[in-house]
Amino acid sequence: MSAATISPFVPRSRKVRILATLGPASDTPEMIRALAEAGADAFRINMSHGSHADHARRIEMIRGLEKELERPTTILADLQGPKLRVGRFAEGSAVVETGARFTFDRDTAPGDATRAPLPHGEIFDAVEAGTRLLVDDGKLVFRVLEVTPDRIEAVAEVGGTISNNKGLNVPDVVLPLAALTEKDRADLAFALEQGVDWVALSFVQRPEDVAEARRLIGGKAALLAKIEKPAAVERLEGILELADAVMVARGDLGVELPPEGVPPLQKQIVESARRMGRPVVVATQMLESMITSPSPTRAEVSDVATAVYDGADAIMLSAESASGQFPREAVAMMNRIATSAENDPSHYARVHFTETLPDATTNDAIARAASEIVRTVGGSAIVCFTTSGSTARRVARERPTVPLLVLTPSPKTARRLGLLWGAHAVRTRDVNSFEEMVGKAKRMALRHGIARAGDRLVVTAGVPFGTPGSTNVLHVVRLAGDELDRHAG
Could you tell me how far CA 290 lies from the centroid of its own chain? 20
H-run or E-run covering 234: helix 230-234
Q: Give the active site residue among 15, 33, 44, 412.
A: 44
Q: Which of 369, 375, 309 is nearest to 337 (CA)?
A: 309
Q: Quick check: 131 pLDDT over 50?
A: yes
Burial environment of residue 253 by CB neighbours within 10 A (0 to 12, 13 to 18, 19 or more): buried
Tell me which DSSP letter residue 259 carries.
G
Q: Give the active site residue among 63, 83, 85, 336.
A: 85
Q: Quick check: 355 pLDDT over 90?
A: no
Distance in angstroms (rounded) separating the CA atoms of residues 333 and 73: 21
Q: What average pLDDT does the segment 415-444 reach?
A: 92
Distance in angstroms (rounded) separating the CA atoms of residues 272 and 375: 25
Peptide bond preceding 464 in cis form (omega within 30 of 0): yes
Say if CB 204 and CB 232 are below 8 A apart: yes
The verdict on whether 478 is a catalytic residue reads: no
**pLDDT at residue 486, as a whole number:** 52
Q: Give the active site residue among 21, 73, 103, 284.
A: 284
**pLDDT at residue 175, as a whole number:** 85
H-run or E-run covering 269: helix 262-275
Q: Give the active site residue among 88, 115, 226, 416.
A: 226
Q: Quick check: 103 pLDDT over 50?
A: yes
**pLDDT at residue 318, as a whole number:** 96
**pLDDT at residue 298, as a whole number:** 97
- Pairing type for strands 17-22 and 314-317 reads parallel
DSSP 284-305: SSTTGGGGT-SS--HHHHHHHH
Say if CB 31 and CB 61 are below 8 A apart: no
Tell me which DSSP letter residue 100 carries.
-
Distance in angstroms (rounded) separating the CA atoms of residues 69 and 215: 34
Q: What percent of the chain has pLDDT over 90?
A: 79
- Pairing type for strands 140-147 and 151-158 reads antiparallel
Name the pLDDT band for 10 (thresholds 50, 70, 90).
Answer: low
Distance in angstroms (rounded) separating the CA atoms of residues 28 and 327: 12
Q: Quick check: 322 pLDDT over 90?
A: yes
Measured between its terminal Cα atoms, the distance across the chain in Å is 28
Q: Quick check: 218 pLDDT over 70?
A: yes
Q: What average pLDDT does the segment 248-254 reach?
A: 90
The verdict on whether 368 is a catalytic residue reads: no
Burial environment of residue 100 by CB neighbours within 10 A (0 to 12, 13 to 18, 19 or more): middle
The verdict on whether 67 is a catalytic residue reads: no
Say if CB 116 and CB 122 are below 8 A apart: no
**pLDDT at residue 114, as a whole number:** 97
Domains and CATH numbers, the chain: 3-82+178-351 (3.20.20.60), 93-169 (2.40.33.10), 362-488 (3.40.1380.20)
Q: pTM for the complete prediction?
A: 0.90
The verdict on whether 214 is a catalytic residue reads: no
Distance in angstroms (rounded) separating the CA atoms of residues 239 and 207: 5
Could you tell me how far CA 168 lies from the centroid of its own chain? 24
